[in-house]
Structure 1
Amino acid sequence: MIDYYFKSRRVESDPNLKFKNPKYFSIMNHLRFYLPKIFPNLDKVLFLDDDIVVQKDLTALWSLDLKEKVIGVVETCRESFHPFDHYLNFSNPHISKHFDPRACSWAFGMNIFDMKEWMKQNITNVYHGWQNLNHDRLLWKLGTPPPGLITFWNRTYTLDKSWHVLGLGYNTDVPQKEIE
């Protein structure tokens, strides 16, 4: 990832210098794309970002049948979150021919992964393929959500929204009932 952000021919000319922020190039943010290598003997992995607060027993996530999908997600189709066109450059044919600009994004901080499906669908190689296509950093915005949306496109199982309350920490309008 360091090579990706710092050894590209566009580094000095890139008007968007956010790529120098560790938030974007930290290898920790990209470890989620290597879960089978980290946990080769697990059938499922529950991934929680470091800012997630767990308020209930998560055992039920383990018994979910993801119906041959790789990742269980809480979609973010509400007005305060963004569809794919917010994250991806749809003027590029690599993006426009593969994705729907109005497709729902999802919360990438709490996900359940089916590791057997991951291996069967060769997800890490899908991620690498898209990273290679994005060598000039023009296909999507910085961060891990865009390559996550691309990598797991059509491989998501929608979880009930009660599994992940979105906006806590920056949205003061989250209803107390939703938090509870």
Structure 2
Amino acid sequence: MSDRFEAVVVAIGSLFMNSPESDIDVWLIGDMQREARGNVSLLQRLNAALQPQAPKQTMSVMGIDEATVLLEVDGVSPVWKWPQFGSLGADQDQDHQPRTVLHPEPWDYDNMHHDPFNLLRFYLPYLGPFRELDSLFLCDDDIVVQKSISTLEVPMGDGPIIAATCNGWLWAEDCMRNEPYYNGKGWLDYPATYLGKDKAHGYFGCTQTAAESGNRICQKDEFADTVLRWSKDIQGKELVAADQPRWNFGLSRVNMTEWRKQNMTHVFDNYMRANYEAKLIPETSLAFGLGIPYFAFADKVKCWNDVVGDPAFVDGLGYISKADLKLNNLNASKLLGEAT
């Protein structure tokens, strides 16, 4: 699911190149009109740019509009078709109007978090071509595959719905740089959730000094209380944030059978409806695009490190430090601001 042709070519190309022995059926759900060039369709462009390494490595494409129609015909109403969609700050200015309970960090503003390309993944088990599949792999368009995809075809066990990467980068305030973490765990003071960023947890961003500097934003206790109440109301159990993995889709494997069995699209939709009712999280926040999925899939995600070994993935391809930028006479603040 992507509207970035050049990035998709790299991701799919690396998958084909490093899995020559595997039968791979790649589906790209993209912007058909935007990515066409004159009379050359998106699929034709992909076939011209990519050379499958085996006869059974195939590509298919579907437009986001077609995917939406197929879901609706089958009685599935995706969140971007709801009447309230777009009411929580989408396409608004940086002040995140209308006001929500969450106070996002200054960097946390991006319309991609409520883009249908970002949200469609939560409806794939019910989308026409995938309704009969037992499992599938989701691949972000900024992934480079370096080993055979067959190494990830391992049993996930009963219960888990997603196997995902839990390696990443996190901003370290003391040294003012991003530092890697492996098999990350715990959602307190984590950017995707905003849990723990309150006085109750002694968050330093709640001090008067931090408030005066404007460097950190303190959350009201109401935020965490609401999220924990959602967990009890929707899933019938309390969310233990400290025990949850810090995961991202990246290159992930979805147990479609277990997803349908546990009705996870319905669970996800219930969290979305609760958010619109409470006006808790703006649609432009990472907490909307990834945080709400975190809450909905709590205790349902397994880290690749625990499935195939540690570290399963190396994240941060092409990471450039502030020192490197300065050495090349580039404005780090400007570039990092644009990157976020």
Give the alignment's TM-score, normalised by structure 1: 0.77
2:256 to 100, 103, 115: 115
User: What residue in structure 2 maps to residue 51 of structure 1?
Assistant: 142
User: What residue in structure 2 maps to residue 74 of structure 1?
Assistant: 165
- Structure with higher RCO (Cα < 8 A, 6+ apart): 1
Shift of 1:156: 1.5
Is 1:153 the equivalent of 2:336?
no
Structure 1 stretch displaced more, 32-41 or 78-87: 78-87
Is 1:26 the equivalent of 2:168?
no
| CA distance in structure 2 between the aligned counterparts of 1:66 and 1:165, rounded to whole angstroms | 24
Shift of 1:96: 3.3
Give the alignment's TM-score, normalised by structure 2: 0.44
Query: Which consecutive residues of structure 1, in runs of 5 or more, have no partner in the other structure?
Result: 173-180
User: What are the residue-to-residue correspondences of 1:154-173 with 2, within 5 Å?
Assistant: 154-160=299-305, 161-170=310-319
Query: Which consecutive residues of structure 2, in runs of 5 or more, have no partner in the other structure?
Result: 1-79, 171-178, 196-220, 230-237, 322-340
Identity of aligned residues (%): 23
Structure 1 stretch displaced more, 103-112 or 80-89: 80-89
User: What residue in structure 1 maps to residue 86 of structure 2?
Assistant: 6
Write 1 or 2 for the structure with the bigger share of strand. 2
Residue-by-residue CA offset, 1:146-172 (whole Å, 9 max, x unaligned): 122112110112222443222223366
| CA distance in structure 1 between the aligned counterparts of 2:320 and 2:313, rounded to whole angstroms | 14
| CA distance in structure 2 between the aligned counterparts of 1:125 and 1:78, rounded to whole angstroms | 31
Please, what is the CA RMSD of the aligned residues? 3.2
Determine helix, strand or coil for the equivalent of 1:126.
helix
User: What residue in structure 2 maps to residue 94 of structure 1?
Assistant: 226
| CA distance in structure 1 between the aligned counterparts of 2:318 and 2:85, rounded to whole angstroms | 29
Shift of 1:20: 7.6
Structure 1 stretch displaced more, 55-64 or 28-37: 55-64
| CA distance in structure 2 between the aligned counterparts of 1:99 and 1:76, rounded to whole angstroms | 22
Residue-by-residue CA offset, 1:15-37 (whole Å, 9 max, x unaligned): 86989843122100111101102
Label 1:8 to 1:146 Cα distance change in 2 as closer, same or farther (>3 A). closer
Are the equivalent residues in 1 in contact too, given 2:167–2:313 (CA < 8 A)? no
| CA distance in structure 1 between the aligned counterparts of 2:315 and 2:279, rounded to whole angstroms | 28
2:273 to 122, 132, 143: 132
